[in-house]
Structure 1
Amino acid sequence: MSIHRLLKFLAIFFALALVVAACGNDDDDEPAAPAPEPAATEAPAPEPEPAATEAPAPEPEPEPMEPFRVAFFYPGTNDDISWSNAWWDGAQAAAANVPNLELEFVELLNEPDAYVQQGSAFADQGYDFLLFAHGAMVDPAIQVATNFPDTQICMAPHHPAPDAPPIPDNMCWVEVDQHNANFLTGVIAALATETGTIGSLNGFEFPALTRQPEAFHLGARCVNPDIGFEQEYINTWVDTAVAKAAAQSLIASGADVILSATDQAVLGIIDAAQEADTQVWVVPSYYDSFDIAPDVVLTSAVHGLADAGQAMIERAYAGEIGPGSYHQFDVTNTAGIIAAPLYDNAGVLTDEDWAIFEDIDAKVRTGEITIPDETAGDPTIGAAGSAASIDVTALGCTPR
């Protein structure tokens, strides 16, 4: 190759090298292309709003409950610590079990016309249940029940004779064998007496009352058939002066344990006992009255009247009385019929005495010893003096 051609070739070669170098520099100096933006994504669709629901309708207000209206009628007062107070207690106890119970009490009623007038007035006002708590008010109760057939009326205490005529369907008899408690206190009286003579002062003479002193005498005779017994009807429930004078007479006759078969007049008997020269014990009826005079109250004949009053209101409310019905409360089915505890005076009886009493009490409650009624069965104790001639062994007693 000639020198001239070689030089031409080298010139071309270097020229191409420069071009290639220039192209390479251009590529290095240019900035790199930016990374592509990520593809846009659609925002999630919003959750649908829950469909609107209607608010529940408010519960209707309950209709106000009609009151169950009850009226008691009795010869004493609500706080006489005796007959009427015991019925009042029973009505208060019923309020715990009878909703919306409305109670009214008519006090110091002793005349038949007053029971008819007051009973009719309450029946006319739409009272649901009337209770005449007076054993001598049979005819007034029947009269009011007849005149107001839509009112439930009951009378206590009363045990109708077997041949008694039927009574209106809206009426009932309530028999509280309160004399069962008097029988038990008679047992205690016979065990406690030092003179061998006991007594009783009684409100009025009618069978439901007369059975109380007669049962007291009979209970004493269950222990000692020959025990002395004196009694008087003082014809008052509340006159303490009359009761005190009568008690002083009994004490002068030798009685050292005296039953009170009356109401507030018992306070006069207590006064006489406290003023006596020797220990004289008083046995109040209807209510545990030890706290009145612990120095002379030996025990009390608690008749279970509160139990009966409560039960009859609850039965009336439940519609469980029944037409022309008879309801019996006695020592076998009513825990509240008792001789009240002697408390601080328990030492008056010896351990042997207590064993005798507890044996008789248990036999009475199981029916092994029977206590006569005032009008039904044979014998009866609805007449004054009737207990004196009864053979106590025929009743189940075993005198000592």
Structure 2
Amino acid sequence: MINRRTLIASLSVVSLLLATGSAFAQDPLTVGILIPGSKSDKGWMESGFDGLTAAQAKYGDQIVVQMIENISNADMEQALTQLASQNALVIGVGGQTQADVLKVAPRFPDVKFSIVGGNAGVEVANVAGYDVKQAEIAFVAGAAAAMLSETGAVSYVGGLEIPSIVNAGTEFGNGARYINPDIKYFESYTGDFDDVAKSKEATLAAIAQGADIHYHILNLGLRGMEQAAKESGTHIIGSYSNYCGTDPLYLAYSITGVGYQVQYAIDEAVAGTWVAGYKPFGLAMGADASDMIVCDPTPEMTEKLTEIMEDIKSGKITVLEG
């Protein structure tokens, strides 16, 4: 027979076990994400936000997210410092965050930092740089543009004139000439991913010289390209995500897996398999990471673009880094 003293002792042990069990329950992963532009830009930033949204749906209360968006380059270091002081994983969406991540990360050695759009210059012990390899898919986009063009002229507008954006522009032109050696190609840079007026001006200048298919690496500046294309009856190959069927201005989309890489960083951190260092994505990582989608292709076009992507993966076609 259990006496009162034994019962009280037993209940005390159960209470202690319950308390200990709750103490050892896994805390949620705290994630800070910096989206320098607008999360509704129909471009890089929106793709990154879509990846974050997908991760939140996947993990629920296993992760807690703090997001900062729409900040200037001058405020980036302060924003990253704020996120790093409150989170276990910090994600910078865009190569423009890399310089400031590399400044901030050494001050927070226990925090993991992932740069979506990072490059081989990442050599800090707690920083991972995910290279979307935009130049690869830009070559394929150039090939698609040449196939879609009715005038034999195509254009590219980039934002900041930095190596990865310039390399993508170069390879877009190379891809177009791969299909049509005589194609006219117009390339320009606005100096700002978000400047609507300058991107419209650059696109109109190319249109005046015959360009009817336009490609870009822009954020909100894409609105200017859209205005120019709509006014002139020309068309756009979009970047980052597949929105086929949503806007007749767009005939195709290059997939650059920005959202995929945001999810990748969170997946790795949740699983405890996150590692620092440079990691290339691109075509070798599959269609979620990099792909070319033509909204209404001919069978011949699909076959040729697939062949080009396989030749890039095999090294038969070589492209610039970035």
TM above 0.5, yes or no, is: yes
Residue 186 (str. 1) matches residue 130 (str. 2): no
Measure, in 2, the Cα distance between the counterparts of 1:358 and 1:132. 31
Residue 153 (str. 1) matches residue 109 (str. 2): no
Aligned partner letter, 1:331? L
SS in 2 for 1:220: helix
Residue 369 (str. 1) matches residue 322 (str. 2): no
User: How do 1:170-181 residues align onto structure 2 when only pairs under 5 Å count?
Assistant: 170-181=126-137
The alpha-carbon deviation at position 264 of structure 1 amounts to 2.0
The alpha-carbon deviation at position 311 of structure 1 amounts to 0.8
SS in 2 for 1:235: coil
TM-score, with normalisation over the residues of structure 1?
A: 0.70
Residue 86 (str. 1) matches residue 47 (str. 2): yes
Instruction: In structure 1, list runs of 5 or more residues that go unmatched.
Output: 1-50, 375-400
Cα separation, partners in 2 of 1:354 and 1:288, compared to 1, 3 Å = closer
Instruction: In structure 2, list runs of 5 or more residues that go unmatched.
Output: none
Contact 2:51–2:258, Cα closer than 8 Å, also in 1: yes
Aligned partner letter, 1:71? G
Cα separation, partners in 2 of 1:81 and 1:249, compared to 1, 3 Å = same
Aligned partner letter, 1:102? V
Aligned partner letter, 1:181? I
The alpha-carbon deviation at position 238 of structure 1 amounts to 2.6
Cα separation, partners in 2 of 1:167 and 1:356, compared to 1, 3 Å = closer
The alpha-carbon deviation at position 70 of structure 1 amounts to 0.8
The alpha-carbon deviation at position 150 of structure 1 amounts to 1.7
User: How do 1:104-119 residues align onto structure 2 when only pairs under 5 Å count?
Assistant: 104-111=66-73, 113-119=74-80
The alpha-carbon deviation at position 154 of structure 1 amounts to 2.3
User: How do 1:191-206 residues align onto structure 2 when only pairs under 5 Å count?
Assistant: 191-206=147-162
Residue 71 (str. 1) matches residue 32 (str. 2): yes
Higher share in helix: 2
Measure, in 2, the Cα distance between the counterparts of 1:211 and 1:172. 22
SS in 2 for 1:254: coil
Partner of 2:269: 316
The alpha-carbon deviation at position 128 of structure 1 amounts to 0.3
The alpha-carbon deviation at position 99 of structure 1 amounts to 5.4
Measure, in 2, the Cα distance between the counterparts of 1:187 and 1:262. 20
Cα separation, partners in 2 of 1:98 and 1:319, compared to 1, 3 Å = farther
Measure, in 1, the Cα distance between the counterparts of 2:170 and 2:46. 23
Percent identity for Structure 1 against Structure 2: 24
Measure, in 1, the Cα distance between the counterparts of 2:280 and 2:203. 33
Measure, in 2, the Cα distance between the counterparts of 1:109 and 1:316. 26
Aligned partner letter, 1:317? V
Contact 2:153–2:213, Cα closer than 8 Å, also in 1: yes
Cα separation, partners in 2 of 1:231 and 1:242, compared to 1, 3 Å = same
TM-score, with normalisation over the residues of structure 2?
A: 0.86
Measure, in 2, the Cα distance between the counterparts of 1:200 and 1:304. 20
Measure, in 2, the Cα distance between the counterparts of 1:230 and 1:253. 9
Larger radius of gyration between Structure 1 and Structure 2: 1
SS in 1 for 2:95: coil
Residue 249 (str. 1) matches residue 205 (str. 2): yes
Q: Deviations over 1:244-270 (max 9, x none)?
A: 222111100111111121012212212
Aligned partner letter, 2:18? P
SS in 1 for 2:283: coil
Measure, in 2, the Cα distance between the counterparts of 1:146 and 1:92. 29
Partner of 1:283: 237
Contact 2:48–2:259, Cα closer than 8 Å, also in 1: yes
Higher relative contact order (CA 8 A, sep 6+): 2
Contact 2:66–2:83, Cα closer than 8 Å, also in 1: no
Measure, in 1, the Cα distance between the counterparts of 2:300 and 2:277. 44
Q: Deviations over 1:278-337 (max 9, x none)?
A: x4121121222435521x211112211111111111112333233x42222110113221
Number of residues of Structure 1 aligned to a counterpart in Structure 2: 309
Measure, in 2, the Cα distance between the counterparts of 1:65 and 1:198. 53
Measure, in 1, the Cα distance between the counterparts of 2:89 and 2:173. 36
Which has the higher mean CA deviation after the structures are superposed, 59-68 or 265-274?
A: 59-68
The alpha-carbon deviation at position 97 of structure 1 amounts to 4.4
Residue 301 (str. 1) matches residue 254 (str. 2): yes
Residue 136 (str. 1) matches residue 96 (str. 2): yes
CA RMSD for the aligned pairs? 2.5
Cα separation, partners in 2 of 1:67 and 1:257, compared to 1, 3 Å = same
